[in-house]
Chain A
Amino acid sequence: GAVVSQHPSWVICKSGTSVKIECRSLDFQATTMFWYRQFPKQSLMLMATSNEGSKATYEQGVEKDKFLINHASLTLSTLTVTSAHPEDSSFYICSAEEGTDTQYFGPGTRLTVL
């Protein structure tokens, strides 16, 4: 089956630093990937849609300059949290789209900003 990986699985950083999270589709190509954020005991909220070879589209209220997305190949999308602050601490999850409807999710990355 389709597998999506994320790296790192968890990261702790100091306030003000930037953190990069990778999302890879391991056995299929994904023109489109999605980035979600999930706070404790809450649902997943879509942050942005990552399109290979073009700019990402962000959901309302998500700062594009703070959450930089790069989708340089059909198997890799990266999310960089710039100048991270404690309120950015969250569980970040990506998904990759195979075909027209099916999304496969990564295992998530736990970000803790001190």
Chain B
Amino acid sequence: GESVGLHLPTLSVQEGDNSIINCAYSNSASDYFIWYKQESGKGPQFIIDIRSNMDKRQGQRVTVLLNKTVKHLSLQIAATQPGDSAVYFCAENRYGNKLVFGAGTILRVKS
């Protein structure tokens, strides 16, 4: 069935390095994608979103890239900090604004 998935379950990076978290989606009709950060025992926190009419969007220290040709989404975090340690989910906004979440990537930042 259609799904949104992630390539890597765990990513370990050194503090100060850049992090790249990837996500593949299969529904070519999807037109809105969101990245969320979830810390242990908490609800998801919105990071950044992107619509299908864009291929790049930048926020504070974060950049989302969308490649519709290969149905791939990535989240780049610049100068990763210990506070960035969390689980990151991509989500696909489908019909009726229902969100389909990817499997999640654990980001561990080493000091």
Contacts and interface: CB of A to CB of B under 8 A. Distances in A.
B61 interface: no
A103 B97 contact: yes
Size category, B interface:
20 to 34
Contacts of B32: 101
B97 A101 contact: yes
Interface in B36-54: 36, 41-46, 49
B12 to A, nearest CB: 17
Interface stretch (A11-19, A42-50, A65-73, A74-82): A42-50
A42 B102 CA distance: 9
Nearest to A109: B43
A49 B99 CA distance: 11
Interface string B89-103: 100010011111111
Contacts of B42: 107-108
A107 B45 CA distance: 9
A90 B32 CA distance: 28
Given A93-B43, A108-B41, A100 B97 contact: yes
The 10 closest A-B pairs by CB, nearest first: A105-B43, A43-B101, A44-B101, A105-B44, A108-B43, A107-B43, A93-B43, A106-B43, A43-B104, A43-B103
